[in-house]
């Protein structure tokens, strides 16, 4: 009896509870980031993702502002008189974090051949060929393309050639909906034009990624590992067709494997590591966690390795000091999630019911309570509504990139958190979704779901028009 009671209490404590009774508005769901949620006055604006967590201490607002300055800093090539900002590249994808994560919103694919959008890039790799490759894969998640490295850098400092240019083309296919309507889905094809360092490996694997939105990441980092793992069902023992596996990745700081949480395949264990690898891989800035002033230059790219660097005494012998990393980390942890003033609107509640009943919430887990962390008081024990289990799911052939990353296979993706998704147009000026921005609206994003999400997608296709509209209105309210 005592044991039963104990189990019941444990069950009540799991994140499942919040999906169980979803008919009315649930306590706190209008504030998806708990006490960190930005308390907006007035209409949604392009600055909706630009606020610090509402509950940080007054003094911490200064640290947030310093972090934001690093996030927006435009790095310049070396040598330069502005030694605190030099070290760009030599190969790079953009000169600042903000160029891709514009207004902390999401990136987008290029819209025309001459579009200079940089917020979609190609990750590169090859399949392992030797035991040495296997150990590289264990630490880096992938085996880099032997010459071009792990990412196609489409820019280079003066005097050097960019690795190549990315061209995206699309093929359209029609999807019929049960109500007689239809939708067109576009499948992307990526081509690397003008490869400047010789032919690419014949077995090249590519994965296109757009920059994800930044709000609430610090809260996702504070969900306890046990809560996430309790949702995993790798062998689908409950027989609902949905498994969910954790990614296990290399943790640079702790020099061990850890649960992956960040990136479209959950390839990074922490914001500190994600930020450092972005500095290094996207901008070419060496730093305390990932030193090396040459960014993603490979041993074959000798002129790249010999180019002047931005290491300076003032930055601890690096291009970006530990202090810069600390500010950046504070910033990326404390970007506020937006409120949901219309969470109790009957139309939206109807959409929410459809979301739950269709099985969307089996992966897009609505609710968690973050762990107690005295070091991060603002993010501690918050009741949050991110709509993700942070686990990997097989999403079918349509979305597959056939490029494994750590434990994630070529068909698996991390459930994308949905909070803030309704603000995309206001913040980013577009409505492109999914890891490579192929979906041009929320309808298309859902229709692309396959694999473990096929049954949920089919229920969505089968809905009468007004129900599908209600479900999409619910997504727009997030």
379 part of the interface to ligand HEC, by CB under 6 A: no
Number of Cβ within a 10 Å radius of residue 236: 12
Binding mask 7-46 for ligand HEC (x = CB under 6 A): ----------------------------------------
Judged by beta carbon, residue 78 or residue 275, the one nearer ligand HEC is 275
Q: How far apart are CA 268 and CA 262, in angstroms?
A: 5
In a 3-state reduction of DSSP, which class is residue 86? strand
Say if residues 331 and 64 touch (Cβ distance below 8 Å).
Answer: yes
Among 211, 335, 390, 443, contact with ligand HEC (rule: CB under 6 A): 211
Q: State yes or no: residue 288 binds ligand HEC (CB under 6 A).
A: no
For residue 92, what are the β-bridge partners? 155
d(CA 192, CA 18): 46
Q: Which range of residues in 160-168, 258-266, 311-319, 376-384 is near ligand HEC by CB under 6 A?
A: 258-266
455 class by beta-carbon count within 10 Å (0-12 exposed, 13-18 middle, 19+ buried): middle
CA distance 123 to 222: 27
CB of 337 to ligand HEC, least distance (A): 13
Residues 447-476 that bind ligand HEC (CB under 6 A): 449, 452-453, 456-457, 460, 475
Contact 147, 198 (CB under 8 A): yes
Question: Using CB under 6 A, which of the segments 13-21, 169-177, 188-196, 211-219 binds ligand HEC?
Answer: 211-219
Given candidates 36, 117, 294, 358, which one binds ligand HEC under the rule CB under 6 A? 358
Binding mask 150-189 for ligand HEC (x = CB under 6 A): ----------------------------------------
Using the rule CB under 6 A, which residue among 185, 307, 337, 363 binds ligand HEC? Answer: 363
User: Dihedrals φ, ψ of 236, to 5°?
Assistant: 50, 55
In the region spanning residues 386 to 445, those forming contacts with ligand HEC, defined by CB under 6 A, are 393, 395, 399, 413, 415-416, 418, 421, 433-435, 442, 445
- DSSP string over 163-226: S-EEEEEEEEEEEE-TTS-EEEEEEEEEEEES-TTSPPPTT-EEEEEEPPP-TTHHHHHTS-HH
- Smallest distance, ligand HEC to C-beta of residue 467, A: 11
Backbone phi, psi, residue 470, to 5°: -65, -40
Q: Which is nearer to ligand HEC, 293 or 418 (CB)?
A: 418
* Separation between Cα atoms, residue 446 and residue 449, nearest integer Å: 5
Binding segment toward ligand HEC, per CB under 6 A, in 12-20, 221-229, 260-268, 291-299? 260-268
Answer for which of 19, 78, 332, 382 binds ligand HEC (CB under 6 A) is 332
Spatial distance between the Cα atoms of 397 and 50, rounded to a whole number of angstroms = 36
Token pair 């009957």: residue: 346
CA distances from 131 to 138, 232, 251, 257, 314 (A): 11, 30, 21, 19, 40
Longest pairwise C-alpha distance within the chain: 76
Nearest-approach distance from CB 4 to ligand HEC, in angstroms: 31
Q: Please, are residues 142 and 404 in contact by the beta-carbon 8 Å criterion?
A: yes
The H or E element containing residue 61 is: helix 58-72
Q: 216: which residues sit within 8 A by CB, 6+ positions away?
A: 32, 33, 36, 335, 336, 337, 384, 386, 417, 419, 420
Find the part of the chain contacting ligand HEC (CB under 6 A) among 81-89, 109-117, 190-198, 362-370. 362-370
Q: CB-wise, 227 or 436, nearer to ligand HEC?
A: 436
CB under 8 Å, gap of 24 or more: what pairs does 196-199 form?
Answer: 196/161, 196/162, 196/163, 196/164, 197/147, 197/148, 197/161, 197/163, 197/300, 197/301, 198/147
Site for ligand HEC in 94-123 (CB under 6 A): 94, 97, 99-101, 118-119, 121
Q: How many residues bind ligand HEC (CB under 6 A)?
A: 57
**Using rule CB under 6 A, residue 339 touches ligand HEC:** no
Nearer to ligand HEC, 315 or 415 (CB): 415
Among 258, 283, 325, 443, binds ligand HEC (CB under 6 A): 283
CB of 432 to ligand HEC, least distance (A): 8
Q: Is 338 in the site for ligand HEC (CB under 6 A)?
A: no
Residue 385 within binding range of ligand HEC, rule CB under 6 A: no
Task: Give the residue with the Cβ less far from ligand HEC, 2 or 272.
Answer: 272
Residues 234-253 that bind ligand HEC (CB under 6 A): 242
Residues lying near ligand HEC in the complex (CB under 6 A): 71, 93-94, 97, 99-101, 118-119, 121, 209-212, 217, 242, 262-264, 267, 271, 274-275, 278-279, 282-283, 328, 332, 355, 358-360, 362-364, 393, 395, 399, 413, 415-416, 418, 421, 433-435, 442, 445-446, 449, 452-453, 456-457, 460, 475
């Amino acid at each position: 009896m005592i044991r039963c009671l104990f189990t019941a209490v444990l069950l009540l404590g799991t994140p499942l509870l919040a999906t169980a009774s979803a008919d009315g508005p649930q306590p706190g769901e209008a504030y998806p980031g708990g006490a960190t949620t930005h308390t907006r006055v007035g209409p949604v604006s392009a600055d909706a993702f630009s606020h610090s967590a509402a509950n940080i201490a007054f003094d911490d607002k200064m640290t947030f502002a310093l972090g934001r300055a690093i996030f927006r800093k435009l790095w310049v090539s070396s040598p330069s008189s502005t030694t605190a900002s030099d070290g760009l590249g030599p190969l790079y994808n953009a000169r600042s974090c903000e160029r891709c994560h514009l207004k902390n919103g999401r990136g987008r694919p290029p819209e025309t051949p001459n579009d200079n959008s940089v917020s979609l890039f190609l990750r590169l790799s090859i399949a392992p060929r030797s035991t040495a490759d296997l150990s590289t894969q264990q630490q880096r998640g992938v085996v880099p393309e032997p010459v071009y490295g792990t990412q196609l850098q489409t820019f280079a400092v003066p005097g050097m050639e960019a690795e190549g240019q990315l061209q995206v083309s699309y093929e359209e296919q029609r999807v019929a909906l049960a109500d007689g309507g239809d939708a067109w889905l576009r499948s992307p094809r990526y081509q690397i034009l003008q490869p400047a360092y010789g032919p690419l490996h014949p077995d090249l694997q590519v994965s296109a990624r757009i920059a994800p939105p930044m709000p609430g990441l610090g809260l996702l980092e504070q969900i306890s590992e046990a809560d996430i793992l309790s949702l995993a069902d790798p062998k689908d023992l409950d027989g609902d067709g949905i498994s969910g596996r954790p990614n296990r990745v290399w943790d640079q700081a702790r020099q061990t494997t850890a649960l992956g949480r960040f990136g479209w395949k959950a390839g990074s264990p922490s914001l500190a590591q994600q930020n450092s690898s972005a500095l290094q891989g996207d901008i070419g800035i060496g730093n305390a966690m990932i030193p090396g002033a040459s960014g993603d230059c490979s041993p074959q790219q000798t002129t790249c390795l010999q180019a002047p660097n931005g290491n300076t005494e003032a930055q601890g012998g690096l291009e970006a000091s530990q202090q810069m990393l600390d500010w950046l980390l504070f910033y990326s942890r404390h970007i506020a999630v937006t409120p949901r003033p219309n969470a109790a609107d009957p139309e939206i509640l109807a959409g929410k019911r459809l979301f739950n009943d269709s099985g969307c919430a089996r992966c897009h887990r609505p609710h968690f309570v973050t762990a107690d962390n005295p070091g991060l008081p603002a993010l501690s024990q918050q009741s949050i509504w991110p709509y993700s289990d942070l686990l990997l799911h097989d999403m079918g052939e349509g979305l597959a990139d056939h490029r494994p990353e750590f434990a994630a296979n070529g068909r698996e993706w991390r459930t994308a958190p949905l909070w803030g998704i309704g603000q995309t147009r206001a913040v980013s000026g577009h409505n492109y979704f999914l890891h490579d921005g192929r979906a041009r609206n929320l309808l298309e994003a859902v229709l692309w779901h396959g694999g473990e999400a096929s049954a949920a997608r089919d229920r969505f296709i089968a809905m009468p028009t007004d129900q599908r509209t209600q479900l999409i209105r619910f997504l727009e309210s997030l």
